[in-house]
């Protein structure tokens, strides 16, 4: 690709490239140089748009979180108050685990990066808080919403790590006390 002086899409291509690099190589493979190569832009462009790797991580996590929250909001919108919340949570976990494993790994890779990168931590927290807000508005209980978000996160992460088969009944039993407002 030839270099262009006017390139209004460059910043977005850099973010997309950073996400792709993390997806392919993990967070350890992320550098201005690796992102510049993946985005097919001069190295100086990455540092012009993102002075530090933390700045780039923040932008990448914001984009991935936006997609994650949008998916979660679609699930919340489809919730049926007549169906026990435990059944709906079990279906969400099962649906998530049947989805794109590479995407899930990427989401958790970026999410867990917040443990070591203070600049990224608030972005991860914003995502969780937004999921709680969206679910809480639907079910009328923020404490239950926070528990559901934590429960789903924990189950998905455990399944990604262990590869153990999904047990819908165990999830329903664990979440049996939750209800939709």
Q: What pLDDT score was predicted for residue 91? A: 93
pLDDT at 178 over 80: no
pLDDT in tens, 24-39: 999 999 999 999 999 9
**What CATH class has 59-174?**
mainly alpha
**Cβ(134)–Cβ(69) below 8 Å:** yes
Based on the number of CB atoms within 10 Å of its own CB, is 46 exposed (0-12), middle (13-18) or buried (19 or more)? buried
pLDDT at 3 over 70: no
pLDDT (average), residues 11-28:
94
What pTM does this model have?
Answer: 0.86
pLDDT at 51 over 90: yes
Domain coordinates in residue numbering, the chain = 1-51, 59-174
The CATH homologous superfamily for domain 1-51 is: Homeodomain-like (1.10.10.60)
pLDDT in tens, 87-102: 999 999 999 999 999 9
């Amino acid at each position: 690709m030839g270099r262009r002086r006017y390139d209004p899409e460059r910043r977005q291509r850099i973010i997309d490239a950073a996400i792709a690099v993390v997806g392919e190589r993990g967070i350890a493979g992320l550098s201005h140089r690796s992102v510049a190569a993946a985005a097919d832009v001069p190295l100086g462009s990455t540092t012009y748009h993102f002075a530090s790797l933390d700045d780039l991580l923040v932008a990448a996590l914001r984009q991935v979180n936006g997609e994650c929250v949008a998916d979660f909001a679609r699930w919340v919108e489809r919730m049926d108050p007549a169906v026990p919340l435990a059944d709906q949570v079990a279906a969400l976990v099962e649906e998530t685990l049947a989805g794109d494993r590479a995407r899930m790994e990427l989401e958790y890779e970026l999410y867990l990066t917040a443990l070591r990168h203070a600049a990224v931590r608030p972005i991860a927290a914003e995502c969780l808080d937004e999921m709680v807000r969206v679910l809480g508005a639907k079910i009328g209980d923020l404490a239950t919403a926070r528990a559901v978000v934590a429960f789903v996160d924990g189950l998905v992460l455990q399944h990604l790590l262990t590869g153990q088969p999904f047990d819908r009944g165990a999830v329903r039993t664990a979440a049996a006390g939750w209800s939709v407002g």
